[in-house]
Structure 1
Amino acid sequence: MNLLDRPVWSALSTAHRDLSLGDELARRYEPDVNRFASARDDSEAALRALTRLVPPSEPVFILQVPQIRVPEGLTTIKAAQGVQMVARSPVAAPGEAGDIVALSDQDAAEMLALATLTEPGPFLRHTHRMGRFVGIRVDGRLAAMAGERFHFPGFTEVSGVCTHPDFRGHGLASRLSRHVAAAIAARGETAFLHAWKTNDAAIALYRALGFEWRCDVNVAVLARPSEDSRQRQA
């Protein structure tokens, strides 16, 4: 299996093992880190293990290249298509980076507020623990940020790219994305990322940075049906 085909599993079973719950058949991120989960494969045993990791009222996100098989006991709340893009050659760092600062636990509340406002993807109280994050401040305010999400041998994902509406149109997202991708390349790793298939603007931005389409990906939000919904179905 190409590690990129199941990036969530590849991360949860290696670099992010300490941030996960589960076993050798299925894993998910700790509830305050992220909502992604993954079965190791499509075997019945792995899918049952995935079901056990989904408590009531706590949906999980599935992201993978293979078609998503919904385990018995779970239901699909939302399904969509995305694209996976890979930097085939190292991305060059932005020319000026003096205003780009490292973000840490001290910035967690501002990072969460910015992500909640702009919705770059699932972002929770401790999502910043998944990798390095950087940002740009304007008059003390966190105007934009970008960072790393899924990480496994040889690869790190660029993610969490967002700009406050008050500061859009100045190329901040492009500069931060380039900065993060260049840092990944400097470690000898390959940068990759995901975008919604319908997000033409984001895809165009990433192409301009040197990322190339690798494949489409399947995305689904799965949940355990509530007792009320099971009774209605019955």
Structure 2
Amino acid sequence: MTSDDDPVLDDPVGRSLDGRHARFARRLGRAATYTPDVATFSSVCTDPSAKDWADLAELLGPGAFADMFNCPALPPSDWEPVFRLDGRRMLWHGGDHLDLPAPGPDVVELGPENTPEMLALVSRTEPGPFWPRTRELGTYLGVRVDGTLVAMAGERLRPPGWTEISAVCTAPEARGRGHAARLVTTLAARVLARGDRPFLHVAERNTGARALYERLGFKTHGQVTFRGFRTPGAH
């Protein structure tokens, strides 16, 4: 199993765009970002220079949003802060094999035809950034009750050796029934089966989700700070 101190986790966005997500990448110099309708995450490596920030600003355009995920460096002073969110990175510690949960007819794999209802569920539950093509980053699973999508989870960042589980959400009327646990466990088993190690991120304030992930086999690896900025120029 990969080491907890694997350096690819210092720049999971950049390392994903270098590898398994290269088809979604836009680049200029060392700056990289996703195609906008897939994700808003950007990377300037872990030791950015003034030129790297300038390249990212040119890549994104004036007054554009830059979601820096967990970049340890701050951009130049003329970049406008948009948000800051404290969180945790959690790594899988449940062993290198996990039996798949018993299948159920209500668990489905979500495809492009499901995008409208996925976006509708995200708008109700706000699990984090999710765009019209985010589903293309990996496998997304959902739970249906009476034909209605009430819960989902999927794969997002994929640096070498790792797969991030993300967009874990359940409609308010369907909570407390184990849907999120079943989806995360199913995804973790699939990730392990192909030789990757699962990891995820959770907002510091979301103590309920953190407790769930700990019960499922994840442990806190460290604190992370998510920041968003607007590039210099006209808004």
Shared fold by TM > 0.5? yes
Which stretch shifts more, 96-105 or 188-197?
96-105
SS of the aligned residue for 1:152 comes to coil
Superposition pairs for residues 24-43 of structure 1, below 5 Å? 24-40=29-45, 41-43=47-49
The corresponding residue for 1:160 is 167
Q: 1:148 aligns with which of 146, 155, 161?
A: 155
* Alpha-carbon distance between aligned partners in 2 of 1:176 and 1:139, rounded to the nearest angstrom: 18
**Deviation of 1:159 (Å):** 0.3
The corresponding residue for 2:20 is 15
* Alpha-carbon distance between aligned partners in 1 of 2:77 and 2:18, rounded to the nearest angstrom: 23
The alignment's C-alpha RMSD in Å is 1.8
SS of the aligned residue for 1:135 comes to strand
List runs of 5+ in structure 1 lacking aligned partners.
229-234
* Alpha-carbon distance between aligned partners in 2 of 1:91 and 1:81, rounded to the nearest angstrom: 31
Q: Is 1:220 matched with 2:218? A: no
* Alpha-carbon distance between aligned partners in 2 of 1:61 and 1:126, rounded to the nearest angstrom: 17
**Deviation of 1:56 (Å):** 4.0
* Alpha-carbon distance between aligned partners in 2 of 1:86 and 1:29, rounded to the nearest angstrom: 24
* Alpha-carbon distance between aligned partners in 1 of 2:214 and 2:97, rounded to the nearest angstrom: 11
* Alpha-carbon distance between aligned partners in 1 of 2:228 and 2:179, rounded to the nearest angstrom: 30
The corresponding residue for 1:121 is 128
For normalisation by structure 1, the TM-score amounts to 0.90
What is the identity percentage for the equivalent residue pairs of Structure 1 and Structure 2? 37
The corresponding residue for 2:109 is 102
The corresponding residue for 1:180 is 187
Q: 2:64 aligns with which of 48, 58, 61?
A: 58
One-letter code aligned to 2:22: R
**Deviation of 1:182 (Å):** 1.0
**Deviation of 1:60 (Å):** 2.1
Identify if the C-alpha distance between structure 1 residues 121 and 184 changes in structure 2 by more than 3 Å, giving closer, same or farther: same
**Deviation of 1:62 (Å):** 1.1
Assess if the C-alpha contact under 8 Å between 1:42 and 1:69 holds in 2: no
List runs of 5+ in structure 2 lacking aligned partners.
1-5
The corresponding residue for 1:49 is 55
Paired positions, count: 227
Which stretch shifts more, 93-102 or 34-43?
93-102
For normalisation by structure 2, the TM-score amounts to 0.90
Assess if the C-alpha contact under 8 Å between 2:13 and 2:159 holds in 1: no
**Deviation of 1:217 (Å):** 1.1
The corresponding residue for 1:78 is 83
* Alpha-carbon distance between aligned partners in 2 of 1:18 and 1:95, rounded to the nearest angstrom: 32
SS of the aligned residue for 1:22 comes to strand
Assess if the C-alpha contact under 8 Å between 2:115 and 2:132 holds in 1: yes
* Alpha-carbon distance between aligned partners in 2 of 1:122 and 1:218, rounded to the nearest angstrom: 15
Q: Which runs of 4+ in 1 moved over 2 A?
A: 53-58, 88-97, 224-228
Assess if the C-alpha contact under 8 Å between 2:28 and 2:56 holds in 1: no
